[in-house]
Amino acid sequence: MRRTLANLLPPAFVVILALAAWEALVRLRHIPEYLLPGPLRIAAALRDDWPVLFPALLQTLAITGEALLAAAVLGAGLAVLLIQAKWIERSLFPFAVILQVTPLVAIAPLLLIWVKDVRLALVLCAFLVAFFPVAANTTLGLQSADHHLLDLMRLYGSSRWKVLRFIRLPSALPYFLGGLRISGGLALIGAVVAEFVAGTGGAASGLAYRILEAGYTLAIPRMFAALTLLAGSGVLLYALLSGVSYFALRRWHESAVRRESAQTSEEQYRSGL
Amino acid sequence: MPLRVSPIPTLEPVVRLQRVTKRFAGGTEALAGLDLAVAPGQLLALLGPSGCGKSTALRLMAGLAEPTTGSVERNIPAPHAVGFVFQEPTLMPWATVEDNVALPLKLLGLPRAEARRRVGERLKRLGLDGFARAYPRELSGGMKMRVSIARALAAQPRLLLLDEPFAALDEITRWRLNDELLDLWRAENLAIVFVTHSVYESAYLATRIAVLSARPGRIVGEIAVDAPAPRGPDYRGSEDYLRTCRTVSESLAKALGES
């Protein structure tokens, strides 16, 4: 407990200091709030505009969540398909790469034209950017299974499905979770970018729409409040996915294992003799 | 006379390699005309310099590789009757000791309760019973190797193949595992083939030593070791043991000189 406090104190102090400096700068230089509002003004906007901003936040998060879920399922699914044969990988992977390198802002207008349901189009946009890290990482993970373990499976005449279930999927789990962490942030960005492109014409009313609206009406503190919510959600999403990763891997993977507490079993074994 | 030259196995061999050559895709010739038969209950050491194709020979015996020419016959109900221990412990890091050892049984579709019982027995025999729920990363090198051996023996194989299993361990642990391997061999009516580059290890463990030449590998000498079981710490200091070591060393030196 004391350690966590000691760990949290310095960064908290730095953040408070930075916010105070910002507030001081705005006040001392008399910067108008339509250029740069101070943190206190933003906090006030957050409180006053909560009834407008909170539903918008939920809307954006819902789109992000759905896109991320689809990316996780379909990304892992594609990865499993890709490793079945070299020719499948060679033929399908370029498509994934092309989708990845084409900027979302360029595809989003098309998608909004093609897909009647605006909300579905938004999810699709967010999914497109979130999909690749999961697919690419999981593919790498499935291919990184210990080849001696694969030999062992051959020794017992195991089917492809058993090899996948017993060896390849567990080997790929840390890679999948690493990809998911990246995808979480990307899905949020994708959702916001898509909302921007959909603009005021869109029926949906996520946070991006509120930011655009605030920009048009020069309600800059509200704009900052919406930005704060977005950034905060991004951080929380990342923390959440890191937590999932930690809990899934804490027993065995180097990334999640705590070092100091490890007493080797040989020691236990010796002392037990 | 504790030593005599190459007895002809009278029982039907567990595995027989005849005029086996193995050439890899890159053109490397690993084995050239290998003839080798392993009798039931035999403890055969494949001894040779690094890169002489010992491991390749072992993989051929296991059916993990196919010979380029020649034949490999396995006279055991395939495939579960071959146990294999790799150079590294090769455990699944995400699974407990218990689940690692149970893997072959799961793959062969044994009922859960039966598998559990057998795994328990295995762990006990290898001094691992306190570690059933531990993860591999919590174990030392020697303990991991024990788990690996327990896994190889889980499905009660009649042939156990070991590929330099103790090379990475410290000497004390290595000796202890040597003795444990001898115990297992005595208890289980097993044929064992183990690959090593240690003269001392082969002389201590084996009932028969096949010396391989440098690449491409073939058998250049065979030594039968008649020292009686049980071999133990006393055997390590005995005249018999030292004499065997000398004979094996000479044979190995000749193998290196020839190539």
Partner residues linked to B160 by β-bridges: B83, B192
Nearest CB to A146 within list B90, B107, B155: B90
Half-sphere exposure in the Cβ direction for B249 (13 Å, CA): 7
Q: B79 — contact with chain A (CB < 8 Å)?
A: yes
Smallest CA–CA separation between B96 and chain A, in Å? 9
**Residue B192 pLDDT:** 94
- Please judge whether B138 and A265 are an interchain contact, meaning their C-beta atoms are less than 8 angstroms apart: yes
Domain count for chain A, please give it: 1
- Interface A-B, measured as beta-carbon pairs within 8 A, has a size of 79
Q: Averaged over A53-73, what is the pLDDT?
A: 95
Residue B182, both tokens: 């001898």
- Please judge whether A156 and B155 are an interchain contact, meaning their C-beta atoms are less than 8 angstroms apart: yes
ipTM of the complex: 0.87
- A163 contacts in B (CB within 8 Å)? none
- B144 contacts in A (CB within 8 Å)? none
- Please judge whether B84 and A151 are an interchain contact, meaning their C-beta atoms are less than 8 angstroms apart: yes
Average pLDDT in chain B = 85
Q: A157 — contact with chain B (CB < 8 Å)?
A: yes
- Please judge whether B92 and A167 are an interchain contact, meaning their C-beta atoms are less than 8 angstroms apart: yes
Decide the pairing of beta strands B3-5 and B15-23: unpaired
CA separation for the pair A133, A149 (Å, rounded): 26
Q: A258 — contact with chain B (CB < 8 Å)?
A: no
Query: Residues B8-44: pLDDT tens digits?
Result: 545 688 889 988 888 888 888 888 888 899 988 899 9
CA separation for the pair A102, A106 (Å, rounded): 7
CA separation for the pair B175, B236 (Å, rounded): 10
* Domain hosting residue A130, numbered range: 41-248
Q: Averaged over B100-125, what is the pLDDT?
A: 91
CA separation for the pair A147, A182 (Å, rounded): 28
CA separation for the pair A148, A16 (Å, rounded): 53
Residue B113, pLDDT > 80, answer yes
Would you say residue A30 lies in a domain?
A: no
**Residue B26 pLDDT:** 83
Would you say residue A23 lies in a domain?
A: no
Q: B135 — contact with chain A (CB < 8 Å)?
A: yes
> Considering only residues 184 to 243 of chain A, which have any Cβ-Cβ distance to chain B shorter than 8 Å?
none
Within B36-111, residue ranges assigned H as helices are 54-62, 97-107
Closest of B158, B256, B154 to residue B211, by C-alpha: B256
**Residue B200 pLDDT:** 86
Q: A165 — contact with chain B (CB < 8 Å)?
A: no
Would you say residue A17 lies in a domain?
A: no
* pLDDT above 70 as % of chain A: 92
- Please judge whether B106 and A158 are an interchain contact, meaning their C-beta atoms are less than 8 angstroms apart: no
Contact (CB, 8 A) for B219 and B228: no
Report the residue of chain B nearest A145, measured CA to CA.
Answer: B92
Contact (CB, 8 A) for B255 and B197: no
**Residue A124 pLDDT:** 94
Residue B1: which pLDDT band, with cuts at 50, 70 and 90? very low
CA separation for the pair A237, A244 (Å, rounded): 11
For A71-93, the DSSP string reads HHHHHHHHHHHHTT-HHHHHHHH
Q: B90 — contact with chain A (CB < 8 Å)?
A: yes
How many other CB atoms sit within 10 Å of the CB of residue A39?
A: 16
Interface test with A, best of B91, B107, B149, B151 (most A CBs within 10 A): B107
Q: B107 — contact with chain A (CB < 8 Å)?
A: yes
- B157 contacts in A (CB within 8 Å)? none
Would you say residue A219 lies in a domain?
A: yes
Q: B142 — contact with chain A (CB < 8 Å)?
A: yes
What residues contact A168, with CB distance under 8 A and at least 6 apart? A83, A142, A145
Residue B66, pLDDT > 60, answer yes
Smallest CA–CA separation between A156 and chain B, in Å? 6
- B135 contacts in A (CB within 8 Å)? 251-252
- Please judge whether A154 and B64 are an interchain contact, meaning their C-beta atoms are less than 8 angstroms apart: yes
Set out the domains of chain B in order of their start, with CATH numbers.
1-12+22-76+158-259 (3.40.50.300), 91-156 (no CATH)
- B136 contacts in A (CB within 8 Å)? 252
- Predicted TM-score (pTM) of the model is 0.85
User: Which CATH number fits the domain that encloses residue A179?
Assistant: 1.10.3720.10
